Structure 1
Amino acid sequence: MANMEQDHWSRVKGRLRSTVGEDVYSSWFARMDLESVQDDSVHLSVPTRFLKSWIQAHYAERVLNAWQAEMPQVHRVDLTVRSAMRNVAPANKEAAAPAEARRTETSNNRHAPELRATATAPVSASHEALGGSPLDPRLTFASFVLGRANTLAHAAARQVAEGRRGDPVMFNPLYIHAGVGLGKTHLLQAVTWAGNSGPDRKVLYLTAEKFMYGFVAALKTQTALAFKEALRGIDVLVIDDMQFLQGKTTQAEFCHTLNALIDAGRQVVIAADRPPSDLESLDERVRSRLAGGLVVEMSSLGEELRLGILKSRVAAARAHHASFEVPEPVLDYLARTITHNGRDLEGAINRLLAHSKLNATPVTLEMAEREVRDLIRPQEPKRIKIEDIQRVVARQYNVSRSDLLSSRRTANVVRPRQVAMYLAKTLTLRSLPEIGRRFGGRDHTTVLHAVRKIEALVGKDVALQDEVETLKRQLQE
């Protein structure tokens, strides 16, 4: 009888594989086992709670249909989590499964072990051993929506991900910065998934918080040396949310690790919400080393890119809810009015899906206007950067940016420099000492003198007043 049940199970797995495709099957069903068949019920098991909840939420009906096609009398499929003691892996299973099941019981890291275990591209052993930050299997290059705002960052990230051990490193470090919800984490996790798909490289993804936690824990347990050596053995180190790296000791250790990896020809990829020069809480040596690689900004999402993201999210939702439809006018409305970031766009689609399914009603423009009204935020003023001011002023007065930062005192440089300092003080929230540092390391009193001088001149020099207003308009467009 057991052999007959296994024969049925083999055919059911074949049906599932042909229905969902090889990639989806490998991700979610490859580690599902048959426990028993009793009357009209089938009992299956998986190694983690995350797998159980995912399959129940997205594939329960397909699993039941596959069993009913094989055994029409089956009306119920029960799914349980195998315990660590019971999960003795056969030779063709992953030997790490029992340990993983134990970790699942104690981890608070947002299903990190489960995600690592079930991803199509398996995460390397070094990522597991070093406690890499959780990876989301949805955040791959395949699901990344390209547009003018992110093309360069995407191309640089792909180049890093497709490199092989021993290849010359072109961009090091690769530093990607952007505001919240514009795709930084998506790109970094895509690099990690793709980089770990080959057997010859170790790619480790860590948030800055996770790096700090790991280093402090290593100090407490007197294993700091082993922690450092393990990090320096990584082929590609990926650090997210760099702006949160705090503490002099931790920053010094990060700087040593960064230098050791770069000097050894290993790749470092970093993301933050601002450029390296704006990370004022970081030591100057760290900022300098970060700025020495390729610094790429991912700008705000244009309407065309927002529409592409919305269509991508609808397609992803339809993989699990085939009847879900969002009419083109609704997509156009969402792309036009939800301008803040990609997470708001995804939230809008989730709301429409929930409303449509729970109320059994189609998505309409009226429903969309009602459901997403709180996501339509007033347009925020553009965040102006000192680098932008220097660039625009240099172009207006036909000098170079390096002239503005230099010690030159000729009249054709002094006036533009003072105007740029004045604009930096009036259009940004930077302090006088910070502005001085960004203008070639000048004292804050020099900046104050420039600001007061331009303020006085603008009040009586109409031509200068017009020039300053023109510069402000260019910067705020």
Structure 2
Amino acid sequence: MSKANTQKALTGANSRSDELTKFCAVLRAELGDAIYSSWFTRLELDRIADGCAYLSVPTKFLKSWIHAHYYDKLRAIALAQLPAISEICLSVRTTTFSVVGAEAEPAGQSRVSGSQAAAGSARPREMFKEANTGVETSVLDTRMNFSTFLVSKSNQLAFSAAQEVSRSSSIYNPFYVHAGVGLGKTHLVQAIAHNATVAGRNALYLTAEKFMYSFVSALKAQTSLSFKESLRGIDILIVDDVQFLQGKTIQQEFCHTINALIDNGRQVVIACDRVPNELDNLDERIRSRLAGGLCVEIHPLDDELRLNIVEARVAATKIVQPAFDVSPAVVKMVANLIRTNGRDLDGAVNRLLAHTTLVGSVLSMEQAENAIRDLIRHREAKRIKIEDIQKLVATHFNVSRADILSSRRTANVVKPRQIAMYLAKILTPRSLPEIGRRFGGRDHTTVLHAVRKIDGLVAQDNSLKRELDLLKQLLED
């Protein structure tokens, strides 16, 4: 670069710096020190061109927040302070893409090459961090959207409700979706985040772990006030795997946050592996609040959905590996044998791919079955709920579930109650105190007495043993 050009560039940079300083001084005076320090200290003026002032911030979250809450103010001040402009453009000046395949950012941002986008084995993700509050989003997978979510009777209600929630705040608040491992709850809540963002809403997706980490970091950095304000000012908060939320102080803040959001008409979305009243590690106030909205279960994959998943995975893999050839008979066999969850079906397709590409032969039915044998052998057992045990036992003994949970001591109620407690102890991972709470708030010693009582009767009464075996089979099927 020539000396003249260098001097011209330096002059331009100094001019932009002076203009930004004046602009920020007015912005600070109008908004106040607290708001300015939280949201605008990293604001930069990149250039002025064609009547537009190009402003940038370091993170996507910060851009979304400023655009949603302060864009009009920014524009008014810019029009008054910066010469010869009629509009402003706010962008993210850097991105932190962790893998290839993500969608291109606005003008001036990092882009992914065509060769990188073709790497089908990579998972397209993005992660960004808000600099001042310490709120760090959890990783989003851009493939987890509504268009790629396969729908059947097992998840139709959850899917329809999620679409409604993503479009606007609704009466389904909080929206609580629960399911076992690999059934699509994370896919669904991430789809809500993507769709809400496209619709212009300010969505924040966090795992419970990330929420805890961000809160503790904010406490250490003495920015907890900004942390709380940033959470409570968003349009839609999505928290995944809430069963892992630990710590009394963190749970209190979580409860205050969702209360504040719901009370102000903002949407809360929760994903978990069980219903709210089974979250024994959470405070009762949180469980009550979560249960007060729409609680939807994604049920185990049905036959049609498993087949659709395998077909979709095979088709997606063939785009990247054209030599991957799987017959319809093999696809159907995999869908019939792997009945657990979507992750196991993904694993099955990966095993078939490895066998085809590494061995270099067309898969026979026998070879395909051998390739996925470990997934069949380690099939996940059905997760039995205490509520299901109570309902089945009540029906079997011709009493109501309310009778089993009541304090009645008549013989026709006591025995079914003890059998239900016994089955809860041997068929679920729940502790004695947890089981007692689920049976009308009883003490753990009552549960222990019931377990010992039924154990003793089974040793003496073969008919009771056969009856219990039948109940176990009905619960496990």
2:154–2:298 CA contact under 8 A, matched in 1: yes
Question: Matches of residues 9-24 of structure 1 in structure 2 within 5 Å?
Answer: none
Distance 2:203 2:396 in 1: 45
Match of 1:28 in 2: none
Q: Is 1:193 matched up with 2:194?
A: yes
Q: Percent identity?
A: 56
Q: Aligned AA for 1:159?
A: E
Distance 1:398 1:382 in 2: 25
Q: Aligned AA for 2:436?
A: G
Distance 1:366 1:416 in 2: 48
Match of 1:223 in 2: 223
148-157 vs 210-219, greater mean Cα deviation: 148-157
Match of 1:343 in 2: 343
Match of 2:140 in 1: 135
Deviation for aligned residue 1:115: 6.2
Distance 2:229 2:101 in 1: 23
Deviation for aligned residue 1:124: 13
1:132–1:206 CA contact under 8 A, matched in 2: yes
Match of 2:296 in 1: 296
Distance 2:291 2:300 in 1: 22
Match of 1:382 in 2: 382
Q: Is 1:208 matched up with 2:208?
A: yes
- What secondary structure does 2:93 align onto? helix
Counterparts in 2 of 1:429 and 1:183: CA distance versus 1, 3 Å = same
- What secondary structure does 1:332 align onto? helix
Match of 1:156 in 2: 161
Counterparts in 2 of 1:447 and 1:367: CA distance versus 1, 3 Å = closer
Counterparts in 2 of 1:147 and 1:317: CA distance versus 1, 3 Å = same
Q: Aligned AA for 1:290?
A: L
Q: Is 1:175 matched up with 2:176?
A: yes
Deviation for aligned residue 1:116: 8.6
186-195 vs 281-290, greater mean Cα deviation: 281-290
Report the count of equivalent residues. 373
Distance 1:292 1:319 in 2: 45
2:218–2:224 CA contact under 8 A, matched in 1: yes
2:255–2:286 CA contact under 8 A, matched in 1: yes
2:183–2:342 CA contact under 8 A, matched in 1: yes
Match of 1:368 in 2: 368
Q: Aligned AA for 1:260?
A: A
Counterparts in 2 of 1:408 and 1:330: CA distance versus 1, 3 Å = same
1:123–1:197 CA contact under 8 A, matched in 2: no
Q: Aligned AA for 1:151?
A: Q
- What secondary structure does 1:237 align onto? strand
- What secondary structure does 1:376 align onto? helix
Unaligned runs of 5+ in 2: 1-85, 106-110, 113-124
Distance 2:199 2:407 in 1: 51
Task: Report the TM-score, using the length of structure 2 for normalisation.
Answer: 0.70
436-445 vs 423-432, greater mean Cα deviation: 423-432
Q: Deviation string for 1:370-427 (max 9, x for gaps)?
A: 4433333333443322111111112223332222222233443333222211221232
Match of 2:59 in 1: none
Counterparts in 2 of 1:275 and 1:127: CA distance versus 1, 3 Å = farther
Q: Aligned AA for 1:344?
A: D
Question: Matches of residues 407-446 of structure 1 in structure 2 within 5 Å?
Answer: 407-446=407-446
Question: Matches of residues 36-435 of structure 1 in structure 2 within 5 Å?
Answer: 96-100=91-95, 103=96, 110-111=98-99, 117=105, 130-162=135-167, 164=168, 167=169, 169-199=170-200, 201-322=201-322, 324-357=324-357, 361-435=361-435
Distance 2:146 2:273 in 1: 21
Distance 1:362 1:455 in 2: 54
Q: Deviation string for 1:149-171 (max 9, x for gaps)?
A: 32232222222123x2xx5x332
Deviation for aligned residue 1:206: 0.7
Counterparts in 2 of 1:250 and 1:218: CA distance versus 1, 3 Å = same
Distance 2:451 2:343 in 1: 40
Counterparts in 2 of 1:428 and 1:234: CA distance versus 1, 3 Å = same
Distance 2:357 2:373 in 1: 20
Counterparts in 2 of 1:361 and 1:390: CA distance versus 1, 3 Å = same
Deviation for aligned residue 1:442: 0.7
Counterparts in 2 of 1:372 and 1:418: CA distance versus 1, 3 Å = closer
Deviation for aligned residue 1:113: 11
Q: Deviation string for 1:281-320 (max 9, x for gaps)?
A: 3223222322333333323323332211011112222344
- What secondary structure does 1:325 align onto? coil
Distance 1:371 1:95 in 2: 52
Distance 1:196 1:238 in 2: 12
Deviation for aligned residue 1:461: 5.0
RMSD (Å), alpha carbons: 3.3
Q: Aligned AA for 1:423?
A: L
Q: Aligned AA for 1:143?
A: T
- What secondary structure does 2:377 align onto? coil
Q: Aligned AA for 1:278?
A: E
- What secondary structure does 2:186 align onto? helix
Counterparts in 2 of 1:145 and 1:182: CA distance versus 1, 3 Å = same
Q: Deviation string for 1:171-214 (max 9, x for gaps)?
A: 22222222222211111111111121112x22211111111111
- What secondary structure does 1:407 align onto? coil
1:112–1:135 CA contact under 8 A, matched in 2: no
Deviation for aligned residue 1:233: 1.4
Counterparts in 2 of 1:233 and 1:142: CA distance versus 1, 3 Å = same
Counterparts in 2 of 1:397 and 1:373: CA distance versus 1, 3 Å = closer
Q: Deviation string for 1:113-164 (max 9, x for gaps)?
A: 9569489xx99999899432121111111111223332232222222123x2
Task: Report the TM-score, using the length of structure 1 for normalisation.
Answer: 0.70
2:102–2:126 CA contact under 8 A, matched in 1: no
Unaligned runs of 5+ in 1: 1-90, 105-109
Q: Aligned AA for 2:218?
A: A
